[in-house]
Chains A and B, each alone.
Chain A
Amino acid sequence: MAEESEQALTAEQAEQLEHPTEPATLYGMPVTTAFGDQVLHVDRSRYLDLVRALHDDGFVVCVDLTAADYLTHPGRSDLPAGVVPERFEVIVNLLDPRRRRRIRVRCQVPADDPVLPSLWDLYPGTEAPEREVFDLFGITFDGHPDLTRILMPEDWIGHPLRKDYESGRIPVQFKGAPSNR
């Protein structure tokens, strides 16, 4: 009896693993759950439409916008079937304060054409974070009012958070000066 119930439980667990009770799509996009948060995966062409739909549905705060460079970690396993991994990924964190829920949007951005539409029209607060992503990853945002470097100097070459960015030394004045010690 005990054995039977144990078996039934494992079968149920297997069923749970294969077909999670979470809906497979949300807003017409494949959705996964990452440590308690819902994550939507969207392709570039529908990125703006999806975020607009989320905005109209009550996700009125763009809490965070950032990116990741998957150059040295291409085989990530948390993407749902049908989503083609690309080198860059832009992650948008949205908050619905009225219903107290969060949602995350992950959008794959190819390395040979790193362009995304800007969310500035929907969320003016993405002005600085989109500039930061542009500055540190080199992803450009179409429709951004002032896409310039924000953390690095204006004449800096390269994008420091890219995984193929040479981390090394830059010449420092007086570095080689003899010390009196």
Chain B
Amino acid sequence: MAAAAERLREQGAVLRLSEADAAAHAELERAPEDETMIINMGPQHPSTHGVLRLMLELQGETVLRCKPVIGYLHTGMEWTGEELTYLQGPTNVTRMDYASPLFNELVFSMCVEKLLGIEVPPRAVWIRMLMTELNRIASHLLFLATNGMDLGAVSMMLYGWREREEVLRFFQTVTGLRMNHNYIRPGGVAADLPSGWRDGVLRLLEMIPPRLEEYDTLMTGQPIWRERLQGVGVITAEECLALGVTGPILRSTGYAWDLRRDMPYLAYDEVDFDVVVGTFGDSFDRYAIRLNEIRESIRIVHQVLDRMPGGDYRIQDKKVTPPPRARIDESMEALIHHFKIFTEGFKVPEGEAYAAVESPRGELGCYIVSDGSSRPYRMHIRAPSFYNIQALPHLMHGGLVADAVAVISSVDPIMGEVDR
């Protein structure tokens, strides 16, 4: 373990230069034989998944060192989280990881529920599982699409977007929006599933598996695809753990760590699924893991469909839950109650709590300090991409600059989450 940390330190993969130093470095007159150059990749490079800038130190076409430069989004969501009430919180955090917004809402709500000491009704738990697993499918489809695009497989890109759109269309029927739903809230979910939701899910479950077979035919056995990905961006399990890297990158090294199975939340201990692991820790394994995780998610969604319990979709606690819409028309108390909840919010006992879920990119955590008021005193999000990006210099070390795109793509960072 300590050996991995030692190796990471001595490898010198990370370029430790400030912008000013790099500019000076670039202007230096250097002898042609020891010529290294620093070039910037991004922040507007089409394959940096948003605004990520990489300072690459190159010798010829070999990447010697690399430094990811982040912070271009200026969202300040942790700060904004302290200005909003707990009820408004999901609206804020859902915008962080725009490829899997429901996970952000889920982890925030779970953290608030921990502080409140409440337990959501079973139907809400299973609705949350249904929605987040579908969201995982959508997120991994987006990964397949962008991974294909980054490597020049344009048809894969079109297919990935097409299938993801179908999932988002189902989200629209449930939450009203394709993205940034604000659907999972402290105390349950915002609304019950609409009538006909079962048919919608079944349609997805029928449509996606054969398409996955098509992707397999298109990509997995294809020699160009394999040559671009196999053995590119290799990392070991020890290095992943030392860097705090989780999710498919950690699992690609053969380390079976999945919070859904290892530290179950919601009702994941009641459903049957496998944790997909790789062997070599290279980009191809990361691609294959995400492809197969879609299949596992489909398995989970099938079980959720069979076992969806009835009952309330949110907790019946007057402190947290606004009254039903129909009551507002007939009761003055209900109107006042509604007004108070939406203007003042609800108070949360003093304390601090941490909740974590397995998002498509790894462990997504939320840490909230409450001072007893209706706003979080401090809200911190442990974003998986923020930690995963630290692996980039080590993944790229000694590789070709042409492979840099494949490596970034296989990490699947979401910059909204990194810059929070």
Also in contact, A154 and B1, with CB within 8 A (given A60-B242, A76-B350): no
Docked CA distance A148–B389 (Å): 17
The answer to the question of B8 belonging to the interface, with a C-beta cut-off of 8 Å to chain A, is yes
In the complex, the answer to whether A145 meets B367 with C-beta atoms within 8 Å is no
In the complex, the answer to whether B71 meets A150 with C-beta atoms within 8 Å is yes
Docked CA distance A62–B246 (Å): 11
Docked CA distance A55–B115 (Å): 28
Docked CA distance A126–B377 (Å): 24
In the complex, the answer to whether B350 meets A125 with C-beta atoms within 8 Å is no
In the complex, the answer to whether B19 meets A154 with C-beta atoms within 8 Å is yes
Chain A residue at minimal CB-CB distance from B4: A124
The answer to the question of B9 belonging to the interface, with a C-beta cut-off of 8 Å to chain A, is yes
| Interface of chain B: mostly helix, strand, loop or mixed | mixed
The answer to the question of B192 belonging to the interface, with a C-beta cut-off of 8 Å to chain A, is no
In the complex, the answer to whether A60 meets B382 with C-beta atoms within 8 Å is no
Also in contact, A151 and B70, with CB within 8 A (given A68-B369, A97-B241): yes
The answer to the question of B169 belonging to the interface, with a C-beta cut-off of 8 Å to chain A, is no
Docked CA distance A34–B243 (Å): 26
In the complex, the answer to whether B363 meets A63 with C-beta atoms within 8 Å is yes
| Nearest 5 pairs of A and B residues by beta carbon | A125-B244, A151-B71, A125-B243, A64-B382, A73-B371
- Tally of A-B Cβ pairs under 8 angstroms: 114
| Residues of B participating in the A interface, judged by any CB pair closer than 8 Å | 1, 5, 8-9, 14, 16, 18-20, 70-71, 76, 78-79, 114-115, 117, 241-246, 255, 257, 262-263, 350-354, 356, 363, 365, 367, 369, 371, 377-378, 380, 382, 386-387, 389-390, 419-420
In the complex, the answer to whether B367 meets A93 with C-beta atoms within 8 Å is yes
Docked CA distance A28–B419 (Å): 37
Chain A residue at minimal CB-CB distance from B245: A125
Docked CA distance A100–B367 (Å): 19
Also in contact, A128 and B387, with CB within 8 A (given A66-B380, A78-B351, A150-B70): yes
In the complex, the answer to whether A93 meets B382 with C-beta atoms within 8 Å is yes
In the complex, the answer to whether B351 meets A34 with C-beta atoms within 8 Å is yes
In the complex, the answer to whether B350 meets A77 with C-beta atoms within 8 Å is yes
Also in contact, A73 and B377, with CB within 8 A (given A34-B352, A36-B114, A151-B70): yes
Docked CA distance A60–B390 (Å): 17
In the complex, the answer to whether A35 meets B79 with C-beta atoms within 8 Å is no
In the complex, the answer to whether A93 meets B354 with C-beta atoms within 8 Å is yes
Inter-chain contacts of B115 with A (CB < 8 A): 35
B352 CB contact (under 8 Å) in A78, A148, A152: A78
Inter-chain contacts of B419 with A (CB < 8 A): 151
User: 19 extra interchain contacts, Cβ-Cβ under 8 A, other than A35-B114, A126-B244, A154-B18?
Assistant: A34-B352, A60-B241, A61-B241, A61-B246, A63-B363, A66-B382, A68-B369, A93-B365, A97-B262, A104-B354, A121-B9, A124-B8, A124-B242, A127-B390, A128-B389, A132-B386, A145-B14, A146-B16, A160-B76
In the complex, the answer to whether A124 meets B350 with C-beta atoms within 8 Å is no
**Quick one: which of B76, B117, B387, B419 has the most chain A CB within 10 A?**
B387
Write the A113-130 contact mask toward B (1 if CB under 8 angstroms, else 0). 000000001111111110
The answer to the question of A91 belonging to the interface, with a C-beta cut-off of 8 Å to chain B, is yes
| 9 sampled A-B residue pairs with Cβ under 8 A | A34-B353, A63-B382, A66-B382, A123-B244, A124-B243, A128-B390, A149-B71, A150-B70, A161-B78
In the complex, the answer to whether A152 meets B71 with C-beta atoms within 8 Å is yes
Inter-chain contacts of A173 with B (CB < 8 A): none
In the complex, the answer to whether B79 meets A66 with C-beta atoms within 8 Å is no
Inter-chain contacts of B1 with A (CB < 8 A): 55, 60
Inter-chain contacts of A45 with B (CB < 8 A): none
Inter-chain contacts of B255 with A (CB < 8 A): 97
How far apart are A156's CB and chain B's nearest CB, in angstroms?
A: 10
Chain A residue at minimal CB-CB distance from B353: A35
Inter-chain contacts of B389 with A (CB < 8 A): 128
How far apart are A30's CB and chain B's nearest CB, in angstroms?
A: 16
A37 CB contact (under 8 Å) in B16, B353, B390: B353
